[in-house]
Homo-oligomer: A and B are copies of this chain.
Amino acid sequence: MSALAVEAIDISKRFGARWAISRLSFSLAQGRSLLLTGHNGSGKTTLLRIISTAAFPTAGTLKVLGFDSKKERDSLRPSVALVSHASFHYEDLTAAQNLLLSAKFLGVKDPASSVKELLERMGLSSRADSAVRQFSAGMRKRLAIARLLMKAPKVALLDEPFGELDPAGSLQMEQLIRDLQAQGTSVVLATHLIEQGLSLTQERLHLEGGRKVSPT
């Protein structure tokens, strides 16, 4: 039996009086990838944030890579990474400085050169020394992806990764996802581009009002 990358046991998440995730259970084997779909406001971003340990379920247990996401968050965090609507960057640092900071926190060997390589790869090297405040929407997305790649996580959480990327960037993103998968990373991909998503993943979870339903 292969280990589980994600295992949700009856999790729910409440905001104020509203349940964004309701009694959700599912599991994903390590190495396999999951497509997350659902209407606007169905809870995709919330679920990804919970898996990334940026938020925690109000009730229920979530295990990621065998760790309880709430109690063992410290052990879990080095192995998951999230790209979402909020980009986590410091607006007044440059792209290179932002990445370098992550690299140092992660204890990457030779941070400077891996920053350079990643910026190159995401097509940002000509703007490495611009403050993020001056970036366009797509450039921000690219930088966020670079940050995820820097971490080389075991579980990669991608929230609408194709949004804002130009066609070339979109193709590259697909390739990146395949590369991650080839290295054994489980990808959880939330997107509204269902065909594209289906071609990249093996499993699917469709949410409606925070509940699991079969896609229609």
Q: Are B194 and A142 in contact (CB under 8 A)?
A: no
Q: Which residues of A in the span 135-184 have a Cβ within 8 Å of any Cβ on B?
A: 135-139, 141-142, 160, 163-170
The minimal Cβ–Cβ distance linking A215 to chain B, given in whole angstroms, is 11
Q: Is A66 an interface residue (CB 8 A)?
A: no
The minimal Cβ–Cβ distance linking A70 to chain B, given in whole angstroms, is 23
Q: Are B40 and A138 in contact (CB under 8 A)?
A: yes
Instruction: Report, as a range, how many residues of chain A touch the other chain.
Output: 20 to 34
Query: Among B164, B165, B192, which residue has its beta carbon within 8 angstroms of that of A165?
Result: B192
Q: Are B192 and A142 in contact (CB under 8 A)?
A: no
Contacts of A18 in B (CB 8 A): 130, 134
Q: Are B164 and A40 in contact (CB under 8 A)?
A: yes
Bound complex: CA of A164 vs CA of B142, how far in Å?
17
Bound complex: CA of A164 vs CA of B139, how far in Å?
17
Q: Which residues of A in the span 83-140 have a Cβ within 8 Å of any Cβ on B?
A: 85, 123, 127, 130, 134-139
Contacts of A139 in B (CB 8 A): 40-41
The minimal Cβ–Cβ distance linking A8 to chain B, given in whole angstroms, is 20
* Chain B residue at smallest Cβ distance from A192: B166
Bound complex: CA of A141 vs CA of B39, how far in Å?
13
Q: Are B137 and A45 in contact (CB under 8 A)?
A: yes
Query: Among B134, B170, B194, which residue has its beta carbon within 8 angstroms of that of A192?
Result: B170
Bound complex: CA of A39 vs CA of B164, how far in Å?
10
Contacts of A134 in B (CB 8 A): 15-16, 18
Bound complex: CA of A170 vs CA of B8, how far in Å?
30
Q: Are A137 and B85 in contact (CB under 8 A)?
A: yes
Q: Are A169 and B15 in contact (CB under 8 A)?
A: no
With contacts A134-B15, A136-B45, A137-B45 known, is A166 near B85, CB below 8 A? no
Give 6 closest A-B pairs by Cβ, nearest first. Answer: A40-B138, A41-B136, A163-B163, A39-B166, A166-B192, A40-B166
